[in-house]
Amino acid sequence: MEYDWGMRNNSISPVKRSKAEARSNYNRLSRWYDGLAASEAKYRRMGVAALAVQPGESVLEIGFGTGGCLPDLAWQVGTAGFVCGIDLSDGMAAVARERLSAANLTDRVALTLGDAAYTPFGEGCFDAIFTSFTLELFDTPDITRVLGECQRILRPAGRLAVVALVKAAQPNLAERVYEWFHAKMPVAVDCRPILAQSALRETGFEIDRVISTKMWGLPVEVIVGRT
């Protein structure tokens, strides 16, 4: 089933770069990405905390990037649990593997290269899924597919935590400027604000908790939903 939430009044900007272009760009940036995206770390930590991972759980991170959140997730699941990650960029994955190796956590985390709109995981594999500043990298039809995959691979009453730039009802100056750059430089600025809560609800998630905040004047939400 297709949903029209992202097309309401053409309010959500399209993603104009291809996935191949995205992979190439993130591969190129992978060694410097932590510095470039340092401002996102605070919000990622908020998302991990909101997910409230428990010892022994199975957790997936969609768009793990350089692996900044993977050690925290691995420590939280403990030796009885496990963490998986899926990301499009092999350059990012290489940095993430180095981080896990340095933390002696390679035995608790399995990384997969792939498209989260078409995951290789079986039904009901995970207790929880985490994704931060990733859902809005997908074009609108693929957001529906990604969330549909989350529904499929989560167990009953499974949890999904999403950290995302969100579209305000009345965009402020920072958001308007940001979206201008997104339109003019679709490969370099491929993230754009979305209607994250609506997307979750219309793909069958029940919203448990929402934390609203801002990053450089851009609205950000930490959303926890359940299947």
pLDDT at 92: 97
pLDDT, residue 189, reads 87
Note the pLDDT of residue 187.
87
Query: Phi then psi for 71, rounded to 5 degrees?
Result: -60, -45
Question: CATH fold of 5-226, please?
Answer: Rossmann fold (3.40.50)
Q: Where are the domains of the chain?
A: 5-226
Alpha carbon distances (Å) from 108 to 37, 59, 74, 91, 182: 25, 11, 6, 21, 37
CA distance 50 to 144: 23
Residue with structure tokens 């969330």? 147
Low-confidence ranges of the chain (pLDDT < 50): 1-3, 5-9
pLDDT score at 3? 45
Report pLDDT for 1. 38
Q: How many CB atoms lie within 10 A of CB 170?
A: 5
